[in-house]
Chains A and B, each alone.
Chain A
Amino acid sequence: MQTKLFIAGIALLSLPLSLPAYAQGQGKHGQGSEKASEKGSEKSKSGERKGGAGQADRRSDKGPDKGRKSSSSANKQIRAERKSDQRGDNGPAAILSRGQEGRENLRIRSFENGRYARREPSFQGCPPGLAKKNNGCLPPGQARKLGGADDRATNWLQYANWFGGNRGDDWRYDRGYAFRVDSATGLARSIMPLVGGALFSGNPWPQNYTDYKVSPYQERYFGSRQADAIRYADGAIFRVDPETRMIGSIAGLLTGDDWNVGSPAPKGYELYNVPSAYRSQYADSGSNSYRYNDGYVYEIDPTTQLVRQVIELIV
Protein backbone atom coordinates (compact mmCIF):
# COMPACT_ATOMS: atom_id res chain seq x y z
CA MET A 1 0.00 0.00 0.00
CA GLN A 2 1.99 2.72 -1.34
CA THR A 3 1.17 6.13 -0.07
CA LYS A 4 2.74 9.27 -1.28
CA LEU A 5 2.90 11.76 1.48
CA PHE A 6 1.97 15.11 0.17
CA ILE A 7 4.12 17.61 1.95
CA ALA A 8 3.87 20.98 0.27
CA GLY A 9 1.80 23.43 2.20
CA ILE A 10 0.66 20.89 4.71
CA ALA A 11 1.61 20.92 8.33
CA LEU A 12 1.04 17.44 9.57
CA LEU A 13 -0.11 17.16 13.08
CA SER A 14 2.35 16.13 15.63
CA LEU A 15 0.11 16.54 18.59
CA PRO A 16 -1.57 13.52 20.03
CA LEU A 17 -5.13 13.16 18.98
CA SER A 18 -7.31 12.35 21.84
CA LEU A 19 -10.67 11.56 20.43
CA PRO A 20 -13.24 11.21 23.12
CA ALA A 21 -14.84 8.24 21.53
CA TYR A 22 -16.10 8.55 18.06
CA ALA A 23 -19.62 8.34 19.34
CA GLN A 24 -19.38 12.08 19.70
CA GLY A 25 -19.48 12.29 15.98
CA GLN A 26 -23.21 12.11 15.86
CA GLY A 27 -24.73 15.52 16.03
CA LYS A 28 -28.15 16.91 15.58
CA HIS A 29 -29.92 16.05 12.45
CA GLY A 30 -31.74 18.21 10.04
CA GLN A 31 -30.86 21.65 11.22
CA GLY A 32 -30.08 23.02 7.86
CA SER A 33 -33.10 25.08 7.24
CA GLU A 34 -32.94 26.50 10.69
CA LYS A 35 -29.39 27.54 10.15
CA ALA A 36 -30.20 28.93 6.79
CA SER A 37 -32.84 31.01 8.37
CA GLU A 38 -30.42 32.30 10.91
CA LYS A 39 -28.10 33.10 8.11
CA GLY A 40 -30.62 35.30 6.50
CA SER A 41 -29.98 38.32 8.57
CA GLU A 42 -26.33 37.64 8.51
CA LYS A 43 -26.30 37.44 4.78
CA SER A 44 -27.96 40.74 4.46
CA LYS A 45 -25.03 42.25 6.20
CA SER A 46 -22.41 40.38 4.32
CA GLY A 47 -24.21 40.92 1.09
CA GLU A 48 -23.92 44.58 1.64
CA ARG A 49 -20.30 44.27 2.28
CA LYS A 50 -19.69 42.25 -0.78
CA GLY A 51 -22.13 44.01 -2.96
CA GLY A 52 -20.11 46.91 -4.06
CA ALA A 53 -16.78 45.38 -4.80
CA GLY A 54 -14.09 47.57 -3.50
CA GLN A 55 -11.11 48.39 -5.58
CA ALA A 56 -7.72 46.85 -5.45
CA ASP A 57 -4.88 48.68 -3.94
CA ARG A 58 -2.41 46.87 -6.05
CA ARG A 59 1.19 46.74 -5.23
CA SER A 60 3.48 47.46 -8.07
CA ASP A 61 6.02 45.01 -6.77
CA LYS A 62 3.76 42.00 -7.15
CA GLY A 63 4.62 40.07 -10.21
CA PRO A 64 4.74 41.27 -13.80
CA ASP A 65 2.94 44.52 -14.39
CA LYS A 66 1.39 43.81 -17.72
CA GLY A 67 -1.44 46.04 -18.68
CA ARG A 68 -2.53 46.75 -15.17
CA LYS A 69 -3.73 50.01 -13.87
CA SER A 70 -1.29 52.04 -11.95
CA SER A 71 -1.62 52.13 -8.22
CA SER A 72 -2.60 55.75 -8.27
CA SER A 73 -5.35 55.33 -10.81
CA ALA A 74 -6.65 52.34 -8.96
CA ASN A 75 -6.73 54.29 -5.76
CA LYS A 76 -8.62 57.06 -7.43
CA GLN A 77 -11.18 54.56 -8.45
CA ILE A 78 -11.28 53.22 -4.93
CA ARG A 79 -12.03 56.63 -3.58
CA ALA A 80 -14.64 57.25 -6.23
CA GLU A 81 -16.42 54.03 -5.51
CA ARG A 82 -16.19 54.49 -1.80
CA LYS A 83 -17.62 57.92 -2.14
CA SER A 84 -20.54 56.66 -4.11
CA ASP A 85 -21.11 53.72 -1.85
CA GLN A 86 -24.21 54.03 0.24
CA ARG A 87 -23.86 50.95 2.35
CA GLY A 88 -22.53 52.57 5.45
CA ASP A 89 -20.17 50.86 7.84
CA ASN A 90 -20.55 47.51 6.22
CA GLY A 91 -19.73 48.82 2.81
CA PRO A 92 -17.02 47.34 0.70
CA ALA A 93 -13.57 47.63 2.06
CA ALA A 94 -10.62 48.24 -0.14
CA ILE A 95 -9.24 45.15 -1.65
CA LEU A 96 -5.73 44.38 -0.75
CA SER A 97 -3.36 42.78 -3.10
CA ARG A 98 -1.13 40.27 -1.50
CA GLY A 99 1.05 37.39 -2.28
CA GLN A 100 1.09 34.36 -0.06
CA GLU A 101 0.84 36.20 3.20
CA GLY A 102 -1.46 34.50 5.63
CA ARG A 103 -2.27 31.61 3.35
CA GLU A 104 0.19 29.20 4.87
CA ASN A 105 -2.44 27.78 7.14
CA LEU A 106 -4.58 26.54 4.32
CA ARG A 107 -4.57 22.87 3.63
CA ILE A 108 -3.51 22.35 0.09
CA ARG A 109 -4.81 19.49 -1.95
CA SER A 110 -2.98 17.78 -4.74
CA PHE A 111 -4.17 16.21 -7.94
CA GLU A 112 -3.23 12.59 -8.31
CA ASN A 113 -4.47 10.02 -10.76
CA GLY A 114 -7.41 12.08 -11.88
CA ARG A 115 -8.62 13.02 -8.45
CA TYR A 116 -7.83 15.27 -5.56
CA ALA A 117 -5.92 14.17 -2.53
CA ARG A 118 -6.34 16.21 0.59
CA ARG A 119 -3.68 15.41 3.08
CA GLU A 120 -5.31 16.49 6.24
CA PRO A 121 -3.27 16.64 9.35
CA SER A 122 -4.16 13.74 11.50
CA PHE A 123 -2.57 11.88 14.26
CA GLN A 124 0.38 9.91 12.97
CA GLY A 125 1.44 6.87 14.92
CA CYS A 126 -0.04 5.35 17.97
CA PRO A 127 1.37 6.44 21.28
CA PRO A 128 1.23 3.79 23.97
CA GLY A 129 -0.96 5.86 26.19
CA LEU A 130 -3.65 6.23 23.65
CA ALA A 131 -3.45 2.65 22.61
CA LYS A 132 -4.00 1.49 26.16
CA LYS A 133 -6.94 3.76 26.59
CA ASN A 134 -8.41 2.71 23.32
CA ASN A 135 -9.42 6.24 22.54
CA GLY A 136 -7.79 6.71 19.24
CA CYS A 137 -5.39 4.03 18.22
CA LEU A 138 -7.21 0.82 18.37
CA PRO A 139 -6.15 -2.67 19.31
CA PRO A 140 -5.76 -5.09 16.42
CA GLY A 141 -9.12 -6.66 16.94
CA GLN A 142 -10.90 -3.37 16.94
CA ALA A 143 -9.06 -2.23 13.87
CA ARG A 144 -10.11 -5.32 12.01
CA LYS A 145 -13.63 -4.71 13.09
CA LEU A 146 -13.51 -1.34 11.41
CA GLY A 147 -13.01 -2.99 8.12
CA GLY A 148 -11.06 -5.89 6.82
CA ALA A 149 -9.91 -6.49 3.30
CA ASP A 150 -13.43 -7.24 2.17
CA ASP A 151 -14.67 -3.83 3.22
CA ARG A 152 -12.14 -1.71 1.48
CA ALA A 153 -13.92 -0.60 -1.60
CA THR A 154 -17.28 0.65 -0.57
CA ASN A 155 -18.65 2.78 -3.33
CA TRP A 156 -19.24 5.87 -1.35
CA LEU A 157 -15.56 6.14 -0.60
CA GLN A 158 -15.09 7.07 -4.21
CA TYR A 159 -16.60 10.44 -3.49
CA ALA A 160 -14.21 11.22 -0.67
CA ASN A 161 -10.97 12.98 -1.29
CA TRP A 162 -8.78 12.14 1.62
CA PHE A 163 -7.32 8.95 0.30
CA GLY A 164 -4.93 10.16 -2.32
CA GLY A 165 -3.28 7.78 -4.67
CA ASN A 166 -4.28 4.68 -2.81
CA ARG A 167 -7.72 5.61 -1.68
CA GLY A 168 -9.57 2.94 0.10
CA ASP A 169 -6.55 0.73 0.40
CA ASP A 170 -6.06 1.25 4.05
CA TRP A 171 -8.68 3.69 5.17
CA ARG A 172 -11.78 2.75 7.08
CA TYR A 173 -14.78 4.78 8.00
CA ASP A 174 -16.65 4.46 11.21
CA ARG A 175 -19.10 6.76 12.90
CA GLY A 176 -17.88 10.09 11.70
CA TYR A 177 -14.17 9.38 11.55
CA ALA A 178 -11.82 8.04 8.95
CA PHE A 179 -9.27 5.60 10.29
CA ARG A 180 -6.15 4.63 8.50
CA VAL A 181 -5.27 1.15 9.54
CA ASP A 182 -1.79 -0.27 9.44
CA SER A 183 -2.18 -3.57 7.67
CA ALA A 184 0.80 -5.07 9.43
CA THR A 185 -0.20 -4.27 12.96
CA GLY A 186 -3.92 -3.78 12.57
CA LEU A 187 -3.62 -0.55 14.50
CA ALA A 188 -5.22 2.66 13.46
CA ARG A 189 -2.30 4.93 12.77
CA SER A 190 -4.20 7.98 11.59
CA ILE A 191 -7.57 9.26 12.61
CA MET A 192 -9.41 12.02 10.86
CA PRO A 193 -12.66 13.62 11.95
CA LEU A 194 -14.93 14.18 8.99
CA VAL A 195 -17.25 17.01 8.16
CA GLY A 196 -20.75 15.78 8.76
CA GLY A 197 -19.49 13.28 11.30
CA ALA A 198 -17.43 14.44 14.22
CA LEU A 199 -17.26 17.84 12.61
CA PHE A 200 -20.85 18.88 12.73
CA SER A 201 -23.13 21.34 14.37
CA GLY A 202 -23.76 20.53 17.98
CA ASN A 203 -20.58 18.52 18.43
CA PRO A 204 -17.56 19.73 20.34
CA TRP A 205 -14.49 20.46 18.32
CA PRO A 206 -12.47 17.27 18.73
CA GLN A 207 -10.41 17.58 21.85
CA ASN A 208 -6.70 17.98 21.31
CA TYR A 209 -7.21 17.93 17.61
CA THR A 210 -5.11 20.71 16.26
CA ASP A 211 -7.25 23.70 15.62
CA TYR A 212 -6.63 24.58 12.07
CA LYS A 213 -6.71 28.28 12.28
CA VAL A 214 -7.39 29.89 8.99
CA SER A 215 -5.60 32.97 7.78
CA PRO A 216 -6.68 36.25 9.35
CA TYR A 217 -8.15 37.17 6.01
CA GLN A 218 -10.26 34.07 5.73
CA GLU A 219 -11.32 34.52 9.31
CA ARG A 220 -12.75 37.86 8.28
CA TYR A 221 -14.13 36.54 5.03
CA PHE A 222 -15.98 33.58 6.47
CA GLY A 223 -16.49 34.90 9.95
CA SER A 224 -18.79 37.73 9.02
CA ARG A 225 -17.50 39.62 12.02
CA GLN A 226 -19.15 37.23 14.37
CA ALA A 227 -17.81 36.34 17.75
CA ASP A 228 -17.42 32.74 16.79
CA ALA A 229 -14.00 31.32 16.28
CA ILE A 230 -13.31 30.14 12.79
CA ARG A 231 -11.68 26.77 12.30
CA TYR A 232 -10.79 24.69 9.32
CA ALA A 233 -10.81 20.94 8.83
CA ASP A 234 -11.69 18.43 6.13
CA GLY A 235 -12.16 21.04 3.45
CA ALA A 236 -14.63 23.12 5.40
CA ILE A 237 -14.70 26.26 7.50
CA PHE A 238 -16.53 25.98 10.80
CA ARG A 239 -17.86 28.46 13.24
CA VAL A 240 -16.94 27.34 16.72
CA ASP A 241 -17.98 28.84 20.00
CA PRO A 242 -14.71 30.08 21.50
CA GLU A 243 -15.82 29.27 25.03
CA THR A 244 -17.66 26.00 24.74
CA ARG A 245 -15.78 24.86 21.64
CA MET A 246 -19.05 23.63 20.25
CA ILE A 247 -19.33 23.62 16.49
CA GLY A 248 -22.01 26.04 15.40
CA SER A 249 -22.20 25.68 11.65
CA ILE A 250 -20.31 25.06 8.47
CA ALA A 251 -19.43 28.52 7.26
CA GLY A 252 -17.85 27.62 3.97
CA LEU A 253 -16.35 24.97 1.77
CA LEU A 254 -12.85 25.23 0.40
CA THR A 255 -11.15 23.57 -2.49
CA GLY A 256 -7.68 23.90 -1.01
CA ASP A 257 -6.27 24.32 -4.48
CA ASP A 258 -2.72 25.50 -4.59
CA TRP A 259 -2.42 28.97 -6.05
CA ASN A 260 0.96 30.60 -5.99
CA VAL A 261 2.22 33.77 -7.55
CA GLY A 262 4.52 32.90 -10.42
CA SER A 263 3.12 29.38 -10.77
CA PRO A 264 0.56 28.06 -13.21
CA ALA A 265 -3.07 28.30 -12.19
CA PRO A 266 -4.41 24.99 -10.86
CA LYS A 267 -6.36 22.70 -13.11
CA GLY A 268 -10.07 23.30 -13.45
CA TYR A 269 -10.33 27.06 -13.65
CA GLU A 270 -11.04 27.46 -17.32
CA LEU A 271 -14.34 29.22 -16.72
CA TYR A 272 -14.59 32.80 -15.59
CA ASN A 273 -16.09 32.62 -12.11
CA VAL A 274 -15.62 35.92 -10.33
CA PRO A 275 -18.59 36.75 -8.06
CA SER A 276 -21.00 39.29 -9.45
CA ALA A 277 -20.04 42.08 -7.12
CA TYR A 278 -16.49 42.08 -8.41
CA ARG A 279 -17.04 41.47 -12.08
CA SER A 280 -16.78 45.01 -13.25
CA GLN A 281 -13.50 45.33 -11.49
CA TYR A 282 -12.01 41.98 -12.34
CA ALA A 283 -13.18 41.28 -15.83
CA ASP A 284 -11.22 39.08 -18.17
CA SER A 285 -9.41 40.92 -20.92
CA GLY A 286 -6.65 40.30 -23.37
CA SER A 287 -4.08 41.21 -20.78
CA ASN A 288 -5.61 39.85 -17.57
CA SER A 289 -7.65 36.90 -16.48
CA TYR A 290 -9.25 36.55 -13.09
CA ARG A 291 -10.48 33.55 -11.21
CA TYR A 292 -12.12 33.13 -7.82
CA ASN A 293 -11.32 30.46 -5.28
CA ASP A 294 -11.73 30.08 -1.52
CA GLY A 295 -12.41 33.75 -0.93
CA TYR A 296 -9.64 35.13 -3.10
CA VAL A 297 -9.50 36.43 -6.64
CA TYR A 298 -6.40 35.53 -8.59
CA GLU A 299 -5.00 37.52 -11.44
CA ILE A 300 -3.56 35.36 -14.18
CA ASP A 301 -1.47 36.15 -17.20
CA PRO A 302 -3.66 34.86 -20.03
CA THR A 303 -0.65 34.13 -22.19
CA THR A 304 1.54 32.24 -19.77
CA GLN A 305 -1.27 31.15 -17.44
CA LEU A 306 0.95 32.08 -14.55
CA VAL A 307 -0.61 33.60 -11.46
CA ARG A 308 0.32 37.22 -11.11
CA GLN A 309 -1.19 38.10 -7.80
CA VAL A 310 -3.57 37.08 -5.06
CA ILE A 311 -6.32 39.54 -4.24
CA GLU A 312 -8.27 39.65 -1.02
CA LEU A 313 -11.82 40.75 -1.45
CA ILE A 314 -12.41 42.30 1.93
CA VAL A 315 -10.39 43.82 4.72
Chain B
Amino acid sequence: MGHSNRLRRPSIQKLSMVVALSAMLGACQDNDRQASDKGTVEASPDSNLLTSAIGDAADLSISTRLIGTAQLGPALDGEGSYTVFLPVDEAWESLEEAELQAIESADNRPQLISVLRQHIAPGYVLATDLEKGLAAGNGVVTLTTMGAAPITLHREGEAVTLGQGKDAPRIVGAPIVAGNDVVYRIDRLIPPPE
Protein backbone atom coordinates (compact mmCIF):
# COMPACT_ATOMS: atom_id res chain seq x y z
CA MET B 1 0.00 0.00 0.00
CA GLY B 2 2.92 2.28 -0.03
CA HIS B 3 2.65 3.17 3.61
CA SER B 4 6.02 1.91 4.58
CA ASN B 5 7.38 5.37 4.85
CA ARG B 6 5.77 6.15 8.15
CA LEU B 7 7.69 8.77 9.97
CA ARG B 8 7.84 9.67 13.55
CA ARG B 9 6.56 13.17 13.71
CA PRO B 10 2.87 13.57 12.99
CA SER B 11 3.26 16.58 10.76
CA ILE B 12 5.83 14.95 8.57
CA GLN B 13 3.91 11.75 8.67
CA LYS B 14 0.98 13.59 7.30
CA LEU B 15 3.01 15.05 4.52
CA SER B 16 4.46 11.72 3.70
CA MET B 17 1.05 10.21 3.61
CA VAL B 18 -0.27 12.87 1.34
CA VAL B 19 2.12 12.50 -1.45
CA ALA B 20 2.96 8.88 -1.29
CA LEU B 21 0.59 8.81 -4.18
CA SER B 22 2.23 6.71 -6.75
CA ALA B 23 2.94 3.78 -4.55
CA MET B 24 -0.51 3.90 -3.09
CA LEU B 25 -2.11 3.99 -6.45
CA GLY B 26 0.06 1.26 -7.72
CA ALA B 27 -1.21 -1.01 -5.01
CA CYS B 28 -4.75 0.17 -4.69
CA GLN B 29 -5.74 0.06 -8.27
CA ASP B 30 -6.42 -3.21 -9.86
CA ASN B 31 -5.90 -4.37 -13.35
CA ASP B 32 -9.42 -3.92 -14.52
CA ARG B 33 -8.34 -0.81 -16.28
CA GLN B 34 -9.99 0.46 -19.30
CA ALA B 35 -8.04 -0.18 -22.41
CA SER B 36 -10.16 2.04 -24.53
CA ASP B 37 -7.42 4.21 -25.82
CA LYS B 38 -8.94 6.57 -28.28
CA GLY B 39 -5.85 8.61 -28.73
CA THR B 40 -6.33 8.82 -32.42
CA VAL B 41 -9.68 10.49 -32.01
CA GLU B 42 -9.39 14.20 -32.27
CA ALA B 43 -11.75 16.02 -30.00
CA SER B 44 -13.31 19.19 -31.21
CA PRO B 45 -12.88 22.27 -29.08
CA ASP B 46 -15.12 21.95 -26.08
CA SER B 47 -14.55 25.25 -24.43
CA ASN B 48 -12.19 28.15 -24.37
CA LEU B 49 -11.45 27.46 -20.74
CA LEU B 50 -9.83 24.33 -19.48
CA THR B 51 -11.52 24.59 -16.11
CA SER B 52 -14.93 24.81 -17.72
CA ALA B 53 -14.24 21.90 -19.99
CA ILE B 54 -13.04 19.56 -17.27
CA GLY B 55 -15.78 20.83 -14.99
CA ASP B 56 -18.24 19.37 -17.45
CA ALA B 57 -16.51 15.99 -17.43
CA ALA B 58 -18.19 13.77 -14.89
CA ASP B 59 -15.17 11.55 -14.46
CA LEU B 60 -12.82 14.43 -13.73
CA SER B 61 -14.65 15.97 -10.82
CA ILE B 62 -11.91 15.31 -8.29
CA SER B 63 -9.14 16.57 -10.55
CA THR B 64 -11.24 19.65 -11.19
CA ARG B 65 -11.68 20.18 -7.48
CA LEU B 66 -7.98 19.74 -6.79
CA ILE B 67 -7.03 22.22 -9.48
CA GLY B 68 -9.39 24.61 -7.75
CA THR B 69 -7.80 23.93 -4.41
CA ALA B 70 -4.39 24.56 -5.90
CA GLN B 71 -5.72 27.67 -7.59
CA LEU B 72 -4.14 26.64 -10.84
CA GLY B 73 -7.29 27.49 -12.77
CA PRO B 74 -6.19 30.98 -13.78
CA ALA B 75 -2.86 29.63 -14.96
CA LEU B 76 -4.40 26.84 -17.00
CA ASP B 77 -7.11 29.09 -18.38
CA GLY B 78 -4.68 31.86 -19.13
CA GLU B 79 -2.33 32.74 -21.91
CA GLY B 80 -0.05 29.78 -21.57
CA SER B 81 -0.64 26.57 -23.45
CA TYR B 82 -0.61 23.27 -21.64
CA THR B 83 -1.18 19.60 -22.13
CA VAL B 84 -2.57 18.15 -18.95
CA PHE B 85 -2.86 14.52 -17.91
CA LEU B 86 -5.66 14.33 -15.39
CA PRO B 87 -6.38 11.26 -13.29
CA VAL B 88 -9.99 10.19 -13.46
CA ASP B 89 -12.01 10.07 -10.28
CA GLU B 90 -11.41 6.37 -9.81
CA ALA B 91 -7.70 7.02 -9.60
CA TRP B 92 -8.14 9.54 -6.79
CA GLU B 93 -10.75 7.43 -5.08
CA SER B 94 -8.31 4.59 -4.80
CA LEU B 95 -6.54 6.66 -2.19
CA GLU B 96 -7.63 6.30 1.37
CA GLU B 97 -10.16 8.91 2.34
CA ALA B 98 -7.82 10.48 4.83
CA GLU B 99 -5.15 10.76 2.23
CA LEU B 100 -7.42 12.47 -0.21
CA GLN B 101 -8.55 14.86 2.49
CA ALA B 102 -4.99 15.56 3.46
CA ILE B 103 -3.91 16.43 -0.04
CA GLU B 104 -6.72 18.94 -0.24
CA SER B 105 -5.77 20.69 2.95
CA ALA B 106 -4.27 24.15 2.83
CA ASP B 107 -1.25 22.97 4.77
CA ASN B 108 -0.30 20.59 2.02
CA ARG B 109 -0.96 22.82 -0.93
CA PRO B 110 2.67 23.07 -2.09
CA GLN B 111 2.76 19.32 -2.23
CA LEU B 112 -0.50 19.16 -4.13
CA ILE B 113 0.81 21.66 -6.64
CA SER B 114 4.01 19.67 -7.02
CA VAL B 115 1.98 16.59 -7.79
CA LEU B 116 -0.24 18.41 -10.28
CA ARG B 117 2.74 19.98 -12.00
CA GLN B 118 4.12 16.55 -12.71
CA HIS B 119 0.95 16.04 -14.74
CA ILE B 120 1.30 19.19 -16.84
CA ALA B 121 3.38 19.58 -19.99
CA PRO B 122 3.97 22.74 -21.99
CA GLY B 123 2.15 23.25 -25.24
CA TYR B 124 -0.73 21.85 -27.15
CA VAL B 125 -0.27 18.19 -27.96
CA LEU B 126 -3.19 16.80 -29.87
CA ALA B 127 -3.80 13.10 -30.24
CA THR B 128 -2.53 13.25 -33.80
CA ASP B 129 0.69 14.86 -32.58
CA LEU B 130 1.05 12.14 -30.01
CA GLU B 131 0.51 9.44 -32.59
CA LYS B 132 3.00 10.98 -34.98
CA GLY B 133 5.56 11.32 -32.26
CA LEU B 134 5.11 7.77 -31.09
CA ALA B 135 5.40 6.51 -34.64
CA ALA B 136 8.55 8.49 -35.22
CA GLY B 137 10.00 7.38 -31.91
CA ASN B 138 9.27 3.69 -32.40
CA GLY B 139 6.59 3.80 -29.76
CA VAL B 140 8.40 5.92 -27.20
CA VAL B 141 8.52 9.68 -26.70
CA THR B 142 9.72 11.86 -23.88
CA LEU B 143 7.66 14.80 -22.80
CA THR B 144 8.90 17.57 -20.60
CA THR B 145 6.70 18.60 -17.69
CA MET B 146 6.23 21.45 -15.27
CA GLY B 147 7.11 19.05 -12.51
CA ALA B 148 10.15 17.30 -11.23
CA ALA B 149 10.98 15.17 -14.23
CA PRO B 150 9.92 14.47 -17.80
CA ILE B 151 7.52 11.68 -18.54
CA THR B 152 7.96 8.98 -21.12
CA LEU B 153 5.00 7.86 -23.16
CA HIS B 154 4.90 4.36 -24.57
CA ARG B 155 2.78 2.72 -27.17
CA GLU B 156 1.50 -0.50 -25.64
CA GLY B 157 -0.63 -2.14 -28.27
CA GLU B 158 -3.69 0.03 -28.62
CA ALA B 159 -2.96 1.93 -25.45
CA VAL B 160 -0.57 4.71 -24.56
CA THR B 161 1.01 4.54 -21.13
CA LEU B 162 2.96 7.09 -19.14
CA GLY B 163 5.94 5.11 -18.10
CA GLN B 164 6.10 1.34 -18.21
CA GLY B 165 4.95 -1.55 -16.13
CA LYS B 166 1.59 -2.81 -15.03
CA ASP B 167 1.06 0.16 -12.77
CA ALA B 168 1.90 2.77 -15.37
CA PRO B 169 -0.88 5.30 -15.95
CA ARG B 170 -2.73 4.78 -19.17
CA ILE B 171 -4.49 7.31 -21.33
CA VAL B 172 -8.19 6.56 -21.42
CA GLY B 173 -10.87 8.06 -23.57
CA ALA B 174 -10.64 10.89 -26.01
CA PRO B 175 -8.75 14.04 -25.14
CA ILE B 176 -10.54 17.21 -24.30
CA VAL B 177 -9.48 20.25 -26.27
CA ALA B 178 -10.10 23.53 -24.54
CA GLY B 179 -8.72 26.80 -25.82
CA ASN B 180 -4.93 26.53 -25.79
CA ASP B 181 -4.97 23.36 -23.79
CA VAL B 182 -5.41 19.64 -24.28
CA VAL B 183 -6.50 17.31 -21.49
CA TYR B 184 -5.89 13.58 -21.46
CA ARG B 185 -7.59 11.40 -18.93
CA ILE B 186 -5.33 8.86 -17.24
CA ASP B 187 -6.34 6.00 -15.00
CA ARG B 188 -3.66 6.46 -12.36
CA LEU B 189 -1.54 9.22 -11.01
CA ILE B 190 1.85 9.76 -12.56
CA PRO B 191 4.33 8.37 -10.06
CA PRO B 192 7.05 10.60 -8.69
CA PRO B 193 10.36 10.36 -10.47
CA GLU B 194 12.76 7.92 -8.93
Contacts and interface: CB of A to CB of B under 8 A. Distances in A.
Nearest to A291: B123
Dominant SS among interface residues on chain A? mixed
B49 interface: yes
Contact of A29 (B72, B106, B110, B122): B106
A269 B144 contact: yes
A158 B192 contact: yes
A229 B193 CA distance: 34
B97 interface: no
A150 B111 CA distance: 19
A43 B122 contact: no
Contact of A154 (B5, B81, B82, B150): B5
Contacts of A150: 7-8
B12 interface: yes
Interface in B3-43: 5, 7-9, 12, 15-16, 18-21, 23
Interface string A191-219: 00011110011000000000000000000
Interface stretch (A4-12, A81-89, A100-108, A270-278): A270-278
Interface string B52-91: 1000000000000001111111110111111100000000
Interface string A14-47: 0000000000001101111101101110111011
Nearest to A271: B133
Instruction: Give the bracket for the number of chain B residues in contact with chain A.
Output: 35 or more
B183 to A, nearest CB: 14
B161 interface: no
Interface in A266-315: 266-277, 291-295
Interface residues of A, number: 74
Contacts of B52: 36, 40
Contacts of B150: 116, 267-268
Nearest to B177: A276
A271 B130 contact: yes
A160 B74 CA distance: 21
A292 B78 contact: no
B5 A155 contact: yes
A232 interface: no
Interface in A82-138: 114-116
Contacts of B112: 196
B114 interface: yes
A273 B125 contact: yes
Contact of B79 (A44, A50, A151, A161): A50
A155 B23 CA distance: 9
A257 interface: yes
Contacts of B79: 46, 50, 221-222, 224, 251-252, 295
Nearest to A33: B68
Given A32-B51, A255-B146, 12 more contacts: A29-B109, A47-B179, A155-B19, A156-B15, A158-B192, A159-B19, A159-B114, A253-B120, A271-B130, A273-B83, A275-B180, A276-B177
For the complex of A and B, the 5 pairs showing the least CB-CB separation, nearest first, are: A156-B19, A273-B123, A32-B68, A268-B144, A36-B73
